[in-house]
Amino acid sequence: MTEDTIKRRARGLDRAFDILDFLKEIGQPLRPNDIANGIGSPKSTVYELVASLLERRILEPVGKDGHVYLGRQLYFLGQAHLRHFDLSREADHALQEIVSQTRETAQMCLLNGRKYTVALMKEGERHFRISSDIGENAPIPWTASGRLLLAHLSDQQIIDLIDEDDYILPDGERLPLERFLAEIRQAGIDGFFSFDSVADTFTHCFAAPVKDPSGVAICTLCIVAPRADAKNNYDDYRRVLIESANSLARRINE
């Protein structure tokens, strides 16, 4: 195989992942033409890749108008991944323990490229529902976890990573870069961060890092609680979360 062939195949693989990521981000079936426009790729390339992904059941047709969406083969691949991925399995147990001790919603959160996402969640034992859409990307500066997940990076690496528009909060205010960097450094020292959610007006978010042997946060465990309950139980929730994150880190690093 020539070097040019290898490079073409690599570019095709990148485009295939662009298609999958775009469909995940949009969250609904699209025509290949719309996908090509969305990812800025030649239509002929996208049609060819879509046909190949349909053949392998990575994508599947939806309706009669040529729409496609993420296929069930991805579900089976995901299940195979989870069966052999200790972090997800162990984190699921950790979240259940947090819920049993606090009755609040618990989450495991990760970086997904230049964004933040909730990877796992256990809803709290309450009459009303506090939850997030698993797998939905959010701007890192909007999150308590983001301060911890970036703590190992230099200031310049953080600046290069985050899109300028992601500093604009849901209320339209811009988060000052200096404040964000200071919060990251303090969170790294404390091994914990919490704040009133910027995405709504009624919850408080707690986050603690789960670190690898080199001290880098590979994910966070989080509690999302009504602000009044968070204030009344702050020290207890903080203790439970940090203990759970440290315990999870010990189990997966053994």
Per domain, the residue ranges of the chain are: 1-73, 84-250
Q: Note the pLDDT tens digit of each residue in 123-161.
A: 887 666 666 677 788 999 999 999 999 999 999 999 999
Contact between 148 and 222 under an 8 Å Cβ cutoff? The reply is no
Say how far apart CA 200 and CA 203 lie, in whole Å. Answer: 7
pLDDT of residue 127: 61
pTM more than 0.85: no
Nearest 5°: the CA angle 247, 250, 251 is: 90
Residue 25: Cβ within 10 Å count: 12
Residues 180-227 have pLDDT tens digits of: 999 999 999 999 999 999 888 889 999 999 998 889 999 999 999 999
Rounded distance, CA 186 to CA 30, Å? 44
Q: Please state which CATH class domain 1-73 belongs to.
A: mainly alpha
CB 61 within 8 A of CB 67: yes
What percent of the chain clears pLDDT 90, i.e. is strictly above it? 60
Pick the residue with more confidence: 32 or 126? Answer: 32
Instruction: Give residue 88's pLDDT.
Output: 79
What is the tens place of the pLDDT at every residue in 66-82?
999 998 888 878 777 66
CATH for the stretch 84-250? 3.30.450.40
